[in-house]
Amino acid sequence: MGFRNVTNIIRNGTIKWVGNVTNVQTWNDTSHFPNYGVGHGVITTADGQDKATWIRYGVGRTNINGTITYLDVMFFNTNSTGKLAFLKNLEGLHISEVDGNKRTDNIYEWK
């Protein structure tokens, strides 16, 4: 599978009950399927003591008003016994909306 665009991103955010985290990720848009991509990354707690990895597969769609919605499935893993231990073997649904410079990301546990 070929990639047409590879993007490296560093984001700071907050995880409920964990606090501040940094997410370092690489996102690859495929050349075979428009608006489809694969991403992977590492989440690290602010104190640097815990980390978790993830991989994400998703699609993006542009709405009639120009907002882009990304729908992804995520797979997490960690060896942490600390704050990020809950991510061990966790699956999640990721929904992201981008409207100009405003971006909203939410991840929900897939049960």
Render pLDDT for 67-88 as a digit per residue (tens, 0 to 9): 989 899 999 999 999 999 999 9
Please measure the distance between the N-terminal and C-terminal CA atoms of the chain and give it in whole angstroms. Answer: 30
pLDDT band at 3 (very low <50, low <70, confident <90, very high): low
Report whether pLDDT(52) > 90: yes
Between 43 and 106, name the one with better pLDDT: 43
How far is residue 72's CA from residue 95's CA, in Å, rounded to a whole number? 7
What pLDDT is recorded for position 88? Answer: 96
Buried b (16+ CB within 10 A) or exposed e, 40-78: ebebbbeeeebbbebebebebeeeeeeeeebebebbbeb
Token couple for 29: 């848009």
